[in-house]
Amino acid sequence: MAEWSKAAVLKTVVVIPPWVRILPSPSLEVCLSGRKEQFAKLSYGETCTQGSNPCASEFSNSMNLSKLYQKWLSFWEEERNQIILACLPLYFSWYPVLYFYYENPKIRLYCLRSLINSLIFFCILIFSLIVSRLPVVGLVLGNFFHILGILIYLSFSFFFIYNLIKDKKIEIRYLEKLVFSLDSFLMRP
């Protein structure tokens, strides 16, 4: 069967019209002397002796995973990066940060802000599902409220990150009341 497909390919004739010009291979360069010269492939790795297709031992020597792991750990040990992770617009990214860094009050408050932001989004989502059951205009209103919930969720998330990065003290009064009441409820003995 494979021989038949090869035979069919070999018997295929390609006619190139005379106005079509076939350009030379891009890997070949023409020198001033008119001679064609091919450049060497780039070298990779620490020793730069393996060429473009290094062996596995060269790759493992050049990539030190323990150094990458240490960099990753040092990045997440900073308080600012933990808060940014908690405030990212991922629905439950605040939960692991709150779980591991519950003792830090600043991180805890940002996690609770993100929790309330997620709850607001889910409330708007449920409202949009209820509204979408209305006859005639229900689907349009349901989609409108769903998009509105997404925009509110994203804008609050980026607002929290902006306040952290720019070191601003801008607060949303009602949201802060909810955050502090939830924090006092969680910190009760």
pLDDT tens-digit map of 62-103: 557 777 788 877 887 888 888 888 888 887 888 788 778 778
Distance from C-alpha of 58 to C-alpha of 55, rounded to nearest angstrom: 5
CA distance 168 to 20: 64
Taken as a whole, the chain contains a residue count of: 189
Residue 59 domain flag: no
**Residue 59 in this model has a pLDDT that exceeds 60:** no
Min mean pLDDT across 20-24, 34-38, 182-186 is at 34-38
In a domain, 88, yes or no: yes
Global pTM? 0.59
Residue 76 lies in a domain: yes
- Of 127, 125, 106, 119, which is closest to residue 156 (Cα–Cα)? 119
Residue 164 lies in a domain: yes
Could you give the number of structural domains in the chain? 1
Annotate 62-128 with DSSP letters as a single string. H--HHHHHHHHHHHHTSHHHHHHHHHSSSTTTHHHHHHHSTT-HHHHHHHHHHHHHHHHHHHHHHHH
In single-letter form, the type of residue at position 42 comes to: L
Percent of the chain surpassing pLDDT 90: 16
3-27 average pLDDT score:
60
CA–CA distance, 98 with 86 (Å, rounded to integer): 8
178, part of any domain = yes
8 DSSP assignment: H
Task: Tell me: pLDDT of 16 over 80.
Answer: no
By DSSP bridging, strand 36-38 and strand 28-30 are antiparallel
Which residue is it, tokens 């030190």? 64
Q: Is residue 149 part of a domain?
A: yes
Please report the pLDDT score of residue 123 as a whole number: 94
136-150: average pLDDT: 92
The domain in which residue 179 lies consists of 65-186
Look at residue 8 and tell me if it is in a domain. no
| Model confidence at 28: pLDDT above 80 | no
Q: Is the pLDDT of residue 1 over 60?
A: no
Residue 35 domain-assigned?
no
